[in-house]
Amino acid sequence: MGDRNVRDALNLVLGTCVLAVCTNTFTDTLKRVDGTSQLPLKGQIRDSVSQSEFIGSHLHDSEAIVGFSRVGRVSWKTKDPRTRDWFLISSPVPGLSILIGYLYFVLSWGPRNMEHRKPYQLKNILVVYNFLQILLSTWLFKEGLEAIVFYNYSLTCEGVDFSYKPYPLRVARGVYIYFLAKLTELLDTVFFVLRKKDKQITFLHMYHHTVMPMVSWGATKYYPGGHGVFVGIINSFVHIIMYTYYLLAALLPHNLQKRYLWWKKYITTLQMSQFCVAFLHNCQLLFYDCNYPKWSVIVVLPNSIFFYFLFSDFYNNAYTSKKENGAVPSIQNSAKANGVVEKVSDGMPNGKGKSD
Among residues 165, 171, 172, the alpha carbon closest in space to that of 89 is found at 172
Residues constituting the chain: 356
| Cβ pair 230, 300 in contact under 8 A | no
| Cβ pair 99, 210 in contact under 8 A | yes
d(CA 143, CA 160): 16
DSSP conformation class of 191: H
Q: 325: burial class by Cβ within 10 Å (0-12, 13-18, 19+)?
A: exposed
- In three-state form (DSSP H/G/I as H, E/B as E, the rest C), the secondary structure along 321-344 is HHHHCCCCCCCCCCCCCCCCCCCC
Alpha carbon dihedral 208, 213, 219, 221, in 10-degree steps, equals -160
- The amino acid present at 2, given as its one-letter code, is G
Among residues 48, 60, 218, 195, the alpha carbon closest in space to that of 118 is found at 195
In the three-class reduction of DSSP (H, G, I as helix; E, B as strand; rest coil), residue 36 is classed as: coil
- The amino acid present at 224, given as its one-letter code, is P
User: Which residues are known catalytic residues?
Assistant: 208
243: phi > 0 → left, psi -120 to 50 → alpha, else beta; which? Answer: alpha
What angle is formed at CA 87 by the lines to CA 85 and CA 88, rounded to 5 degrees? 100
The upper half-sphere exposure of residue 96, i.e. CA atoms within 13 Å in the direction of its Cβ, equals 5
